[in-house]
Amino acid sequence: MSNTKIENILKYTAIATGGIGLTSFAALKTHRLIREAIFSRNEPKEVFAVRNRMHEKVVKSSVVEQERLSSGEELQKKDLQTVSCTAGDGAVLVGHYLKHPLPKRLIIAFHGWRSPWYRDFSPIWEFWQESCSVVFVEQRAHGESGGEYLGYGTLERFDAISWTEKMKEVLDWENTRRPDGTRLPIYLAGTSMGAATVLLAAGLSLPEGVTGILADCGFTSMEAIWEEVMRNTLKVPKPVRKAELRYLRHCIKKTGGKLCSTLDAMDKCRTPVFFAHGMEDDFVPPFMTEQNFARCKAPIKRLYLGPNAGHGACFYHNREAYRREEEAFFRECEG
């Protein structure tokens, strides 16, 4: 028997018996990437390189990126109040509160994986600040927030509830009224992993006052997005992908989390949802948002698919259309 045949037998035997295919370079690389993506607060160089490939179209477009960075720098210069809340597991989470003098609503915004809060909501924060107070959350295991692990929404969904309760205290929500006599509507917003966070939260029992969900370019599950990354970005062979998904499930179990799907959450969702996604997204495929929209059982739901937009850039490329759709959603939710 040739050496090549022996190597192949060893490789696929390791995979079939539940190993990670250590004879495969792709398996070794993906194994390390999954581990670092969940357990490490600091982004290793390898993860950084892969993330850049994930966001290739956005990163290549220097005009887009420069404007988003400029808008993010402007946001950081605003009169922001630092707020914090304690998550259910004791982690202290940090947020940045941009207060409007007479807000029509409050938005609690959750950024994406390994991305700073001030970048992910640039330039949409400029639209929101016209009529809304906004809390830009630093998700667990990011920035100044505590927490050891990144859960891709599986852990963070509970943080969304903690943040809602915290901001109701800050606002004295029970006793505060808008000029029309109604209580301030609260919206949970997220982009990418942040969208998965708020969509998964929508499958839970949300606190009183949560009026709607704003979900931009969210994925359906941690397993589904890793399958896409391994297949499209890392070019990992199918047998190795199966083994790595087993390892992924093992890792998320170690965090104390539980793998779950936004599709299942949408079956339970009764909170209105605004879905948005860029049609040129080469990281999180638009079909995931379309699937979430189709499964959503909320009485009000709206879908906006933005042309010519890559990952996380739907508002940037389609500002007026996006604004119209989101404003129409606010009107529907608030009567």
Give the DSSP letter string of 286-303.
HHHHHHHHHH---SSEEE
Sequence-separated (6 or more) residues with CB below 8 Å from residue 307: 279, 280, 317, 318
In a domain, residue 100? The reply is yes
**pLDDT tens for residues 51-82?**
555 554 444 456 777 888 899 999 999 999 99
In a domain, residue 193? The reply is yes
The structure tokens listed for 286 are 């638009």
Q: Is the pLDDT of residue 35 over 90?
A: no
8-state DSSP, 182: P
Confidence bin at 320 (pLDDT 50/70/90): very high
Q: What's the pLDDT at 26?
A: 60
Q: What's the pLDDT at 288?
A: 98
More confident site: 276 or 40: 276
Q: What CATH number corresponds to the domain at position 287? A: 3.40.50.1820
Q: What's the pLDDT at 34?
A: 85
In a domain, residue 32? The reply is no
Q: What's the pLDDT at 19?
A: 41
Taking a C-beta distance cutoff of 8 angstroms, is the pair 78, 108 a contact?
no
Q: What's the pLDDT at 51?
A: 53
Distance CA 226, CA 167 (A): 33
Mean pLDDT of the chain: 87
The structure tokens listed for 251 are 């890792």
In a domain, residue 287? The reply is yes
In a domain, residue 21? The reply is no
In a domain, residue 137? The reply is yes
In a domain, residue 276? The reply is yes
In a domain, residue 306? The reply is yes
Residues spanned by the domain of 134: 61-221+260-334
More confident site: 306 or 45: 306
**pLDDT tens for residues 248-279?**
998 888 888 788 999 999 999 999 999 999 99
Task: Name the domain count of the chain.
Answer: 1
More confident site: 18 or 325: 325
The structure tokens listed for 59 are 């990163």
